Structure 1
Amino acid sequence: MTTRELFEDAVQRHGPTVLRVCRALLGPTADADDAWSETFLAALRAWPTMADGTNVEAWLVRVAQRKAVDVIRSRARRPTPVEALPEARARPDASDSARIELWDLVAALPERQRLAVAYHYFGGLPHAETAELIGGTSAAVRRAAADGVAALRRNYRPTPAAEGRHP
């Protein structure tokens, strides 16, 4: 296979995982899609010099994490134009509200739990690969992910409309 074919194969195989990681860290926004694109642009530039035997998926997830951090930093520097805000917003439906609430709860988790949940549950990475990315042992990452999920279960209270029921 040519270098181009190898890279295209990596995008096909690992693109969904990278997108899940970007969305886990940034929420289901255009910023996550931008981080995905930036991840593969950086990967394309670095691809010719990648060492043989590199765990491509773990490497791409690490690049995605760094690109997501760049997006978060740029958000802090980006001014919000007040005049451009609409006077009245359309009311989000219950599923949007529930999704936003869940993402807010994920974002509020302690960093280690948030990363363990994001990489394992949203990114689909095994605990061992997640441990390589965030440091520690597979067992410690498994515990952090379990603690994060337990915290989400304790704190997530969807409204009756979000659950498809009416009061």
Structure 2
Amino acid sequence: MSLPPFQHLVDEHWRDVARLAHALAPGNGDDVAQQAWTQALAAYPRLTHARNLRSWLLTITHRCAMDHHRTARRTTPHDDPAALAEAPWLPPPEAPDGSLWTLVGALPERQREAVVLRFVADLDHRAIAAALGTSPGMSRRLVSDAVATLRLDLVDPDPPQDPS
């Protein structure tokens, strides 16, 4: 099977790459998407098959977002405590329900990444596992735990305090 022209790949998947980049790196999504497309273009001639190109692109996008976060952490001045504080996670600009995305932002990092890859990027657990560097079983567990937490928070946002 031969590879389609790279422009065909861009035309078909640009929205998916942009949405994932903005979800994983709010405020820097355009830069992350640009980096992902640049890396994909450089690696494209070395591909040996055209199976799962969307998943391949989204994995590159996820890795670019993680590289961006690592770089941001490395360049943060360590003598300014305010600069060390994590910026709050922001929902994607097209998020239909701000409260749900606020809850997603409060999830632990790995669960948040798994949820974004599953429900924003629409990846299956095998692709999520490849993007996160884990097993499909762990991918399922991360998504399952995150969804369970979100359900609890949506049903009962202020659980009663234990009187003891």
TM-score in terms of structure 2 length: 0.65
- Aligned residue number for residue 47 of structure 2: 50
How far residue 151 of structure 1 moved from its aligned partner, in angstroms, is 1.8
Relative to structure 1, the CA distance from residue 152 to residue 16 in structure 2 (aligned partners, 3 Å threshold; closer, same or farther) is same
CA distance in 2, matches of 1:142, 1:125: 12
CA distance in 1, matches of 2:38, 2:12: 16
* Letter of the 2:19 counterpart: R
* Letter of the 2:42 counterpart: R
- Aligned residue number for residue 152 of structure 1: 150
Partner residue of 2:127 out of 122, 126, 129: 129
| Equivalent pair of 1:22/1:36 in contact (CA under 8 Å) | yes
RMSD between superposed Cα atoms in Å: 3.0
- Aligned residue number for residue 37 of structure 1: 34
Partner residue of 1:110 out of 102, 108, 112: 108
* Letter of the 2:111 counterpart: Q
Aligned length: 135
| Equivalent pair of 1:24/1:123 in contact (CA under 8 Å) | no
| Equivalent pair of 2:63/2:131 in contact (CA under 8 Å) | no
- Aligned residue number for residue 80 of structure 2: none
Relative to structure 1, the CA distance from residue 26 to residue 155 in structure 2 (aligned partners, 3 Å threshold; closer, same or farther) is farther
How far residue 38 of structure 1 moved from its aligned partner, in angstroms, is 1.0
Instruction: Find out whether 1:64 has 2:61 as its counterpart.
Output: yes
CA distance in 1, matches of 2:42, 2:103: 35
The answer for unaligned runs of 5 or more in structure 1 is 80-95, 158-167
The answer for unaligned runs of 5 or more in structure 2 is 78-94, 156-164
Higher relative contact order (CA 8 A, sep 6+): 1
* Letter of the 2:152 counterpart: R
How far residue 140 of structure 1 moved from its aligned partner, in angstroms, is 4.2
* Letter of the 2:71 counterpart: S
What SS does the corresponding residue of 1:128 show, helix, strand or coil?
helix
- Aligned residue number for residue 21 of structure 1: 20
Quick check: 127-136 or 8-17, which moved more?
127-136
Instruction: Find out whether 1:12 has 2:18 as its counterpart.
Output: no
How high is the sequence identity, in percent, across the aligned residues?
Answer: 33
| Equivalent pair of 1:120/1:130 in contact (CA under 8 Å) | yes
